Amino acid sequence: MSKHLIDFIGISKSYDSNLVLDDLNLYIRENEFLTLLGPSGCGKTTTLRLLGGFESPDKGQILFDGQDITALAANERKLNTVFQKYSLFPHMSIAENIAFGLKISKKSKAYIQDKIKYALKLVNLEGFENRSVDSLSGGQQQRIAIARAIVNEPKVLLLDEPLGALDLKLRQNMQYELIRLKEELGITFVYVTHDQEEALTMSDTIVVMNQGYIQQIGTPENIYNEPENAFVADFIGHSNIIDGTMIKDELVEILGARWACVDKGFGNNKPVDVVIRPEDVELVDPSEGTLQGEVTSLIFKGVHYELDVMAGGYEWLVHTTRFVPVGTKVGIKVIPFNIQIMHKPESSDEKAVEIDA
């Protein structure tokens, strides 16, 4: 494991008595692609702005390479930001935009010229030096914003929903470009997004946040397969999240039926949340299913069909490659390994993340 580059220690921040971050603790390793993921208002952008130096925390410390940078202004920090709205300077040419930071650090003319060329090549916009900002498309402006940041050779690049304003196709292309850039530059990326797909595609580490609290930190696989609570499960993918009761170890009751599972240690007769992914639901002959139900809707999604199955008084979301017409009576079966048991939220803070299953 590489060493910690950035540490947030007990950070709290509020705006007008509105608590945005509460006692946040987080570390970021060197050369990591870390994504802060969550719905709007979860505190992810505030976290990034605190790191960038655009806000200062009410409480706590931010360490960079072991040194306290909490009191440093944005222009004194060795990191650069790619802004959500690109924020290119409208009165400067592309080359002048890219050269902005280099001129401030008093680099030689030749060095600046080389850097501009190199950066434009890196973002696939060679020959754009003298274009005006207005003449560029959104995607191109975003690349220039990235170029403008990376020529300063920051140790960390902060990206605040940089792809939010782009259309789907462009967004997917840019995701691959960002991964490529990250590999070529070999620096740390801290990325903010509300798009779970983006997070899963690009990140080494995902930090899921909600209402100012970190909900889970882990690798994309980790977060996807083993969500720690109902909020993460719901936010990461469309899941079936059902109220259940843990009868005893390895046995859970949901929707009036008993299901074998692999989880232990929740105690006996304890209320829990049960997460079952749509692709993990098997549709079988009614007689073989743990629950019986009927298909109520069917949509073709390209790779698979998306079905709603009414069973046990709950509308199950099911992904299958089989064509099952509406009205078919089916049985529902899930293998024990695919039943994910989670604690019910206890504190009122966590309660706030209630979801309509």
Partner 1 sequence: MRKFKQQFLAGPYLIWIIGFILLPLIMILYYAFTNGDGSFTLSYITAIADETNRKAMGLSLRLGIICTIVCLVLSYPLAMILNNMKIKNQGLVVFIFMLPMWMNFMLRILAWKLLLSKNGVINSILTGFGLSRINIINTPTAVVLGMVYDFLPFMLLPIYNSMTRIRKDWIEAARDLGAGNVTIFLKIILPLTVSGIISGIVMVFVPSLTSFAISQVLGGGHVLLIGNVIEQDFMQGMQWNAGSGLSFVLMIFVIASMTIVNIFDKEGEGTSIC
- Report the interface residues with partner 1, using CB under 8 A: 52-54, 73-75, 80-81, 83-85, 87-91, 100-101, 104-105, 148-149, 152
Please, what is the minimum distance in Å from the beta carbon of residue 333 to partner 1? 53
* Half-sphere exposure for 62 (CA within 13 Å, toward CB): 23
Please, what is the minimum distance in Å from the beta carbon of residue 87 to partner 1? 4
Give the 3-state DSSP-derived string for 298-356, with helices as H, strands as E and coil as C.
EEECCCCEEEEEEECCEEEEEEECCCCCCCCEEEEECCHHHCEEEECCCCHHHHCCCCC
Residue with smaller CB distance to partner 1, 87 or 113: 87
Distance CA 237, CA 249 (A): 27
Residue with smaller CB distance to partner 1, 101 or 289: 101
Please, what is the minimum distance in Å from the beta carbon of residue 98 to partner 1? 10
Q: If 0-12 CB within 10 Å is exposed, 13-18 middle and 19+ buried, where does residue 89 land?
A: exposed
Please, what is the minimum distance in Å from the beta carbon of residue 206 to partner 1? 24
Residue with smaller CB distance to partner 1, 106 or 169: 106
Residue with smaller CB distance to partner 1, 89 or 118: 89
Residue with smaller CB distance to partner 1, 6 or 317: 6
Residue with smaller CB distance to partner 1, 81 or 196: 81
Please, what is the minimum distance in Å from the beta carbon of residue 235 to partner 1? 27
- 3-class DSSP state for residue 267? coil
Residue with smaller CB distance to partner 1, 91 or 169: 91
Given phi > 0 = left and psi -120 to 50 = alpha, else beta, which region is 149? alpha
Please, what is the minimum distance in Å from the beta carbon of residue 141 to partner 1? 12
Q: What is the DSSP letter of 281?
A: P
Please, what is the minimum distance in Å from the beta carbon of residue 218 to partner 1? 29
Q: Confirm if 216 and 54 have CB atoms less than 8 A apart.
A: no
Given phi > 0 = left and psi -120 to 50 = alpha, else beta, which region is 89? beta
Residue with smaller CB distance to partner 1, 161 or 234: 161
Q: Which residues of 272-305 are buried (b: 16+ CB within 10 A; e: fewer)?
A: bbbbbbbebbbbeebeebbbbbebeebeeeeeeb
The beta-strand segments (E) located in 173-313 are 188-193, 205-210, 213-218, 240-248, 251-254, 257-260, 270-276, 282-284, 291-300, 305-311
Please, what is the minimum distance in Å from the beta carbon of residue 97 to partner 1? 9
